[in-house]
């Protein structure tokens, strides 16, 4: 069933999150609360026609969505990647070079980094368009088009397995975690990253526009830390570390152009210190 998106609803949602944080005593004094109430009144009673109207949001598979998104996915300006890469690369840099699998490799950004560290790299992704970019970045790598739940690789063949910003697109964590655990050798490392469920409600659900301008959303599972832990342990992996890096200030502000024009202060408070990602460093005993 399609969902429904309305620009005014988005702005009011950010105002509401900011007010809830103020009520909880996290951020905001009396003057801040009064500004929020006044801003909400203006938005509701005198909405600017420039805000536009609501529209149904369709559904796109990851193959459909990344076919449209591939060309701009990891260009500068993707705040989630900017938050994710330094932490994931710091973990990877501390591991010895060997044979590495980049599962759901996308454009090959982590595959290229692993190759630069001296790893022999294999990449797997379900998007032909993303794989074409990955092959161009890592010409000496080996790449396969396949599903995360059915990896076309042998068992226990990798020293390092990376899966970045992909698990949220699947309906359950168990099958892909079992495959990642199968692929890594005993003593090998698995590094996972994904958008934090709290950030999904702050505009983090990936959407793409079609040729007609209609917007569609890709799947986005609301997996909690407990869901990851259960799937990780069921797969026979052990947890070395879990990180939840939080949003700080962004040069262009949070929430996109709409929020910056109409409720920049509320958007800043809605995002400030909220986890943007969850990153796991695992090992197969």
pLDDT in tens, 109-158: 999 999 999 999 999 999 999 999 999 999 999 999 999 999 999 999 99
Cα-trace Rg, the chain: 20
- Would you state the pLDDT for residue 1? 57
- Would you state the pLDDT for residue 50? 87
How far, in Å, CA of 116 to CA of 94, rounded? Answer: 13
How far, in Å, CA of 220 to CA of 208, rounded? Answer: 13
- Would you state the pLDDT for residue 212? 84
CB-count burial class (<10 Å; 0-12, 13-18, 19+) for 62: buried
Identify the band that residue 79 occupies on the pLDDT scale cut at 50, 70 and 90. Answer: very high
Contact 64, 219 (CB under 8 A): no
Q: For the chain, which domains are there?
A: 3-283 (3.40.50.150)
Longest dimension (CA), the chain: 63
How far, in Å, CA of 41 to CA of 12, rounded? Answer: 10
- Would you state the pLDDT for residue 77? 78
Q: Is the pLDDT of residue 87 over 80?
A: yes
Residue pLDDT, tens place only, 186-207: 999 999 999 999 999 999 999 9
């Amino acid at each position: 069933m399609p969902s429904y998106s309305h620009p005014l609803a988005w702005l009011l949602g950010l105002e509401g999150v900011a007010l809830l944080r103020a009520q909880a005593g996290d951020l905001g004094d009396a003057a801040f609360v009064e500004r929020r109430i006044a801003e909400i009144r203006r938005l509701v009673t005198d909405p600017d026609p420039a805000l536009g109207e609501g529209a149904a949001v369709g559904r796109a598979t990851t193959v459909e969505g990344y076919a449209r998104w591939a060309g701009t996915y990891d260009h500068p300006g993707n705040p989630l990647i900017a938050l994710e890469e330094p932490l994931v690369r710091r973990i990877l840099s501390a591991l010895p070079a060997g044979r590495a699998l980049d599962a759901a490799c996308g454009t090959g950004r982590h595959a290229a980094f692993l190759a630069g560290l001296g790893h022999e790299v294999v990449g797997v992704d379900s998007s032909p368009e993303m794989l074409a970019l990955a092959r161009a970045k890592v010409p000496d790598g080996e790449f396969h088009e396949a599903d995360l739940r059915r990896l076309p690789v042998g068992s226990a063949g990798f020293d390092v397995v990376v899966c970045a910003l992909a698990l949220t697109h699947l309906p359950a964590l168990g099958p892909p975690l079992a495959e990642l655990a199968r692929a890594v050798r005993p003593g090998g490392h698995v590094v996972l990253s994904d958008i934090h469920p709290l950030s999904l409600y702050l505009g983090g659900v990936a959407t793409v526009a079609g040729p007609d301008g209609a917007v569609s959303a890709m799947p986005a599972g609301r997996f909690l830390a407990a869901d990851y832990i259960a799937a990780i342990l069921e797969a026979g992996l052990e947890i070395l570390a879990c990180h939840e890096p939080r949003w700080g200030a962004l040069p262009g502000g949070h929430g996109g152009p709409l929020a910056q024009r109409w409720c920049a202060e509320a958007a800043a408070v809605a995002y400030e210190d909220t986890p943007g990602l969850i990153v796991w460093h695992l090992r197969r005993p």
